[in-house]
Amino acid sequence: AQSVSQHNHHVILSEAASLELGCNYSYGGTVNLFWYVQYPGQHLQLLLKYFSGDPLVKGIKGFEAEFIKSKFSFNLRKPSVQWSDTAEYFCAVNANSGNTPLVFGKGTRLSVIA
């Protein structure tokens, strides 16, 4: 079964700082990887995803993530955060076949301060 670890529980950054949120997964086969964002009081929205091809994927709102297969990692990055990026960020994985449900990490809360 798949599992996902997000190393940072709560990250506090000043506006314009660079962001990197860690995500490692555990699964023996080929996977699809996702980052979702949950703004306060809202539902989950897809930021970006990787399933094949270029391991550096770009998503919405200036976010990107890099899949490093040898490290089983899919870290999320943004060069310059804004106050509006304050949210909960979830890494998720499922088997490439799509026949297994999305398994989520425990989330990282990002607080961006002015």
Partner 1 sequence: DTAVSQTPKYLVTQMGNDKSIKCEQNLGHDTMYWYKQDSKKFLKIMFSYNNKELIINETVPNRFSPKSPDKAHLNLHINSLELGDSAVYFCASSYLGQGNYGYTFGSGTRLTVV
β-pairing, 108-113 vs 10-14, is: parallel
Beta bridge partners of 32: 94
Q: Please give the Cα distance from 114 to 104 (Å, whole number).
A: 30
Among 45, 80, 82, 111, binds partner 1 (CB under 8 A): 45
Q: Does 29 bind partner 1 (CB under 8 A)?
A: no
Nearer to partner 1, 26 or 45 (CB): 45
- What's the rounded Cα separation, in Å, for the pair 79 and 75? 13
Smallest separation (angstroms) from partner 1 to the CB of 107: 5
For the chain, give the number of residues.
114
> Does position 34 bind partner 1 by CB under 8 A?
yes
Binding to partner 1 (CB under 8 A): which residues in 52-111?
52, 88, 90, 94-104, 106-107, 109
Beta carbons of 90 and 63 less than 8 angstroms apart: no
Chain positions contacting partner 1, by CB under 8 A = 32, 34, 36, 38, 42-46, 49, 51-52, 88, 90, 94-104, 106-107, 109
